[in-house]
Structures are given as structure tokens and as C-alpha cells.
Amino acid sequence: MYLMYVDEAGDPGLLQAGSPTRYFVLSGLVVHELRWQQNLDALIDFRRRMRNKFGLKLREEIHSARMFNRPGALARIPKNDRLAIIRAFTHEVASLPDVSVINVVVDKANHNPPYDPMVMAWRILIQRFENTMSYRHFPGPANPDDKGMLIPDFTATKKVRGLLRQMRRFNYIPHQPQYGPGSRNLLLARMVEDPNFKDSGESFFIQTVDLVTFLLYQKLAPSNYIRSKGAQNHFDRLSPILCRYASASDPQGIVRL
């Protein structure tokens, strides 16, 4: 079974409704059950190194954006050291064995009501997860009958749960232009159970995918601090784990809506 941990960055509302962000980013970190413990051990070892070097306690959450905007108790760690933790975390994540990341970006400047950025991003993310499993394109262990489960951070739980249930019964995908008008009903066949929502503070894997969404968002719209430190391209360091099968038209496999 494949587990996909999911998090987001940016506001999901449209610009016309007063959204403060142009982009909405949704990322899914995929790990096979047979590599889960190995990757967890690597993340725990990383956190121990951060504790010994910077005083970051294992129970303290790495919420990447808040490390700089609302650090709370982490304000005791100098800001430059917090950025050093993010850099080290990025290097660690890029080296995780047999992990893959699917990324979806909604540029809300291209959309008008009643378009729902969150629903569309989730629909695409789930479909790409299903397709990549079906074609056995994820690295590492693979079985012909592997299934998948969603493990998102707590966000729009009712909407995401309803969407997944709907896609098991109705999932109309428009034909490619060369095939003319119409659509196909491509029902999900590999997704099991409802999404298993988890608190990011209780999951190193959710914190890991939170890092991915943060880095991708900063690549698209870097903050003044990130730009001043030349960190706006740290997302590119994740190249070894990017799922390029998600979008053949993008060199990093990012699905752009």
C-alpha cells in the first residue's frame, strides 16, 4: 500500500473574493508501506541532529512558514539558525529512500468564479496519485494490486472526504482536444477508506510535506526574507524525489492549473 501525506500552502480562495495570495499549492508525499519505517527512522535521526545542534526539541513541530512568521517558542533559536534547519531538512528530504512527491499549483490569476481552487487541486492530486499507482511509476516496492490511502493535515475535512467519495462513483475527465468533445468516467479503483486526517504536530511525515509546499510556494512568491537569503530556489534541491510522471509538460512534474 502507498500512503500519501498531503499539505497545502497559500489561501484557497479566489482573488475576486479578496484572497491575499495569487497561488494555491497542494503537495502529496508518497511512501510505500514497506519503506515507511525506514523513512520514519531517517526523519527521527534528522530531528535528533537538529536537537543536538540547534536545540530544536523532537516534540516541537517544524511548521516551515511559521518558523519565520510566527515562531512562538522557537523564537529562542536565532532566525538564521531556523533557516539553517530548513536547509538541512530540505537536504534530508531529498535523500529519503523511495519517496515521491506530487505537486499541484493553482495560479488563481487564471480563474474566475465559480472555480474552486481547493477542489480542483485535490481532484488533480488524487487522480495523479491513482494514475501513478496504476502505471507502477512510483520508486521502490510495487505490487500489481497496491492500493493507496490519503493522510492529509486537518483542512477542509468535509470537502476533501466528500470529493474522494464522489470520485469513486463519478469522475468525468474531459477528452484530449484531438479526440473531440466529451469525457470519460474514470472511477477511482485503488483508493481505500476515507482520508485519515492527522495533526501535523503529531506526524513527521506531515511536517515533511509541509516543507515541500513551503519551498514550492517560496519559489513562486518568495518573501522578502527568503529572497534576501537567496533561498527562493531551495525547492529545486528536492529534484531527486519529484514525481515527474504527474505532468509531462513541466520539467519538475508540477501540475499547473
pLDDT (0 to 100) of residue 197: 97
> What is the pLDDT averaged over residues 19-38?
98
User: Per-residue confidence at 237, pLDDT binned at 50, 70, 90?
Assistant: very high
Average pLDDT, the chain: 94
- pLDDT value at 179 more than 70: no
CATH of the domain at 24: 3.30.420
CA 255 to chain centre: 12
Of all residues in the chain, the percent with pLDDT exceeding 90 is 89
Closest-CA residue to 105 (of 26, 163, 29): 26
Look at the alpha carbons of 104, 230, 70, 221 in this order and tell me if their dihedral is positive or negative.
negative
How many domains does the chain contain in total?
Answer: 1
Summarize pLDDT for 98-111 with one digit per residue, the tens.
Answer: 999 999 999 999 99
- pLDDT value at 177 more than 80: no
pLDDT (0 to 100) of residue 174: 63
- pLDDT value at 32 more than 90: yes
pLDDT (0 to 100) of residue 175: 46
Closest-CA residue to 195 (of 169, 162, 166): 162
pLDDT (0 to 100) of residue 182: 57
pLDDT (0 to 100) of residue 187: 87
pTM over 0.85: yes
The 3-state secondary structure of 158-224, one letter per residue: HHHHHHHHHHCCCCEEECCHHHCCCEEECCCCCECCCCCCECHHHCHHHHHHHHHHHHHHHHHCCCH
- Domain extent, residue 182, equals 2-256
Q: Which three cell numbers stand for residue 166?
A: 464522489
> What is the pLDDT averaged over residues 197-213?
97
- pLDDT value at 180 more than 70: no
β-pair partners for 107? 23
Closest-CA residue to 195 (of 125, 138, 139): 125
Write down the H helix ranges in 55-171: 79-94, 117-134, 157-167
Q: Which residue has the higher pLDDT, 241 or 181?
A: 241
Strands 172-174 and 183-185: antiparallel
> What is the pLDDT averaged over residues 170-197?
76
Among 145-149, 182-186, 220-224, 238-242, the range scoring the smallest mean pLDDT is 182-186
